[in-house]
Structure 1
Amino acid sequence: MRPAAPSPEGAVIQASNDPYRDWLRARLSAELGVNEAEQVIQGAVQRRGWTALRALGPRDVVAVLQDVYARLREDYGDARADRWLEGTTLDLARFAETVPVPAQPTEGPIAPAPTPIRWGRRAHDLPLLLARSHAEIAGRSLAGIRANPDLRALERAAEWDVQATQAEVRRWETEEMLSRLRADHARIEVADQVAAAAAQAQLLDLNVRELEDAVRASPAAAPRLAHTRLMAAQTHAFLDAFTPLIDLSDADTPLTMLDVDLAHARFSLGVPLHPNVLRARQALNYAQWHAGDADGSPAVLQAHHALHLAQEEARAQLDTTLQAARAHQAALRDLKVQVETLERRAAQLQSLGGDPLSLARVRLEWRQARTAARVQAHRLEEALKLLDALVSEGDTVSTPAP
Structure 2
Amino acid sequence: MSIYSPDPYREWLRGRLSEELGVREAELTIQAAVQRRGWPAVRALGPRDVVAVLQDVYEKMRERVGDGRADKWLEVTTVNLARFAETVPVPSAGSTETGPPSPPPVRWGRRAHDLPLLLARAHAEIAERSLGAIRSSADMSTLERAAEWDVQATHAEVRRWETEDQLTRMRSDHARIEVADQVATAAAQAQVLRLSVRELEEAARSGQAVTAQLAHGRLMASQTEAFLSTFTPLISMADADTPLPAVDTDLDSVRYALGVPLHPNVLRARHTLNYAQWQAGPSGDASPGVLAAQHELHLAEEEAREQLETTLEAARKHQRAYQQLALKATGLEQRAARLSAAGGDGLSLARIRLEWRQTRTAARVQAHRFTEATRFLEGLISEG
Q: What is the TM-score with the length of structure 2 in the denominator?
A: 0.94
1:373 to 2:363 alignment = yes
User: Among 112, 115, 121, which residue is 2:102 paired with?
Assistant: 112
Say whether the 8 Å CA contact 1:86–1:266 is kept in structure 2.
no
User: Among 272, 283, 294, which residue is 2:261 paired with?
Assistant: 272
1:364 to 2:351 alignment = no
User: Among 133, 141, 146, which residue is 1:144 paired with?
Assistant: 133
Q: Which amino acid aligns with 2:332?
A: L
Say whether the 8 Å CA contact 1:192–1:251 is kept in structure 2.
yes
**Is the deviation greater in 197-206 or in 239-248?**
239-248
Percent identical pairs in the alignment equals 67
Instruction: In structure 1, list runs of 5 or more residues that go unmatched.
Output: 4-14, 395-402
Q: Deviations over 1:105-153 (max 9, x none)?
A: 11345442643635x6111111111111000000111111112212111
Please name the residue that 1:174 is paired with. 163
**Is the deviation greater in 175-184 or in 71-80?**
71-80
1:203 to 2:192 alignment = yes
Please name the residue that 2:114 is paired with. 125
Pair 147,2 (structure 1): closer, same or farther in 2 beyond 3 Å: closer
Say whether the 8 Å CA contact 1:86–1:264 is kept in structure 2.
no
In 2: Cα distance, 1:327 partner to 1:249 partner:
28
User: Among 247, 250, 253, which residue is 1:258 paired with?
Assistant: 247
Superposed counterparts of 1:3-82, under 5 Å: 15-82=4-71
Say whether the 8 Å CA contact 1:59–1:391 is kept in structure 2.
no
Pair 249,211 (structure 1): closer, same or farther in 2 beyond 3 Å: same
Q: Which amino acid aligns with 1:94?
A: R
Say whether the 8 Å CA contact 1:17–1:55 is kept in structure 2.
yes
Q: Deviations over 1:153-198 (max 9, x none)?
A: 1110010000000100111111122222222212211111111111
Cα deviation, residue 76, structure 1: 4.0
Cα deviation, residue 18, structure 1: 0.4
> What SS class does the counterpart of residue 220 from structure 1 fall into?
coil
1:288 to 2:288 alignment = no
In 2: Cα distance, 1:50 partner to 1:209 partner:
66
Pair 176,73 (structure 1): closer, same or farther in 2 beyond 3 Å: farther
1:134 to 2:114 alignment = no
Say whether the 8 Å CA contact 1:141–1:158 is kept in structure 2.
yes
Pair 80,187 (structure 1): closer, same or farther in 2 beyond 3 Å: farther
Please name the residue that 1:215 is paired with. 204
Pair 127,196 (structure 1): closer, same or farther in 2 beyond 3 Å: same
In 1: Cα distance, 2:270 partner to 2:189 partner:
57
In 2: Cα distance, 1:158 partner to 1:324 partner:
36
Q: Which amino acid aligns with 1:216?
A: R
1:241 to 2:230 alignment = yes
Aligned residue pairs, count: 382
User: Among 326, 330, 339, which residue is 1:340 paired with?
Assistant: 330
Say whether the 8 Å CA contact 1:62–1:392 is kept in structure 2.
no
Please name the residue that 1:307 is paired with. 297
Say whether the 8 Å CA contact 2:46–2:383 is kept in structure 1.
no
Pair 272,386 (structure 1): closer, same or farther in 2 beyond 3 Å: same
Say whether the 8 Å CA contact 1:328–1:376 is kept in structure 2.
yes
Q: Deviations over 1:76-103 (max 9, x none)?
A: 4444333322222221111100001111
Pair 311,76 (structure 1): closer, same or farther in 2 beyond 3 Å: same
Pair 290,319 (structure 1): closer, same or farther in 2 beyond 3 Å: same
Pair 393,240 (structure 1): closer, same or farther in 2 beyond 3 Å: farther
Q: Deviations over 1:316-362 (max 9, x none)?
A: 00010011011111111211221122122212211221111111111
Q: What is the TM-score with the length of structure 1 in the denominator?
A: 0.90
Pair 67,157 (structure 1): closer, same or farther in 2 beyond 3 Å: same
Instruction: In structure 2, list runs of 5 or more residues that go unmatched.
Output: none
Q: Which amino acid aligns with 1:370?
A: R
Pair 164,232 (structure 1): closer, same or farther in 2 beyond 3 Å: same
Pair 100,393 (structure 1): closer, same or farther in 2 beyond 3 Å: closer
> What SS class does the counterpart of residue 160 from structure 2 fall into?
helix
> What SS class does the counterpart of residue 273 from structure 1 fall into?
coil
Pair 73,237 (structure 1): closer, same or farther in 2 beyond 3 Å: farther
Q: Which amino acid aligns with 1:105?
A: G
**Is the deviation greater in 210-219 or in 33-42?**
210-219
Please name the residue that 1:317 is paired with. 307
Pair 63,392 (structure 1): closer, same or farther in 2 beyond 3 Å: farther
In 2: Cα distance, 1:388 partner to 1:62 partner:
14
Pair 332,79 (structure 1): closer, same or farther in 2 beyond 3 Å: farther
Q: Which amino acid aligns with 1:303?
A: A
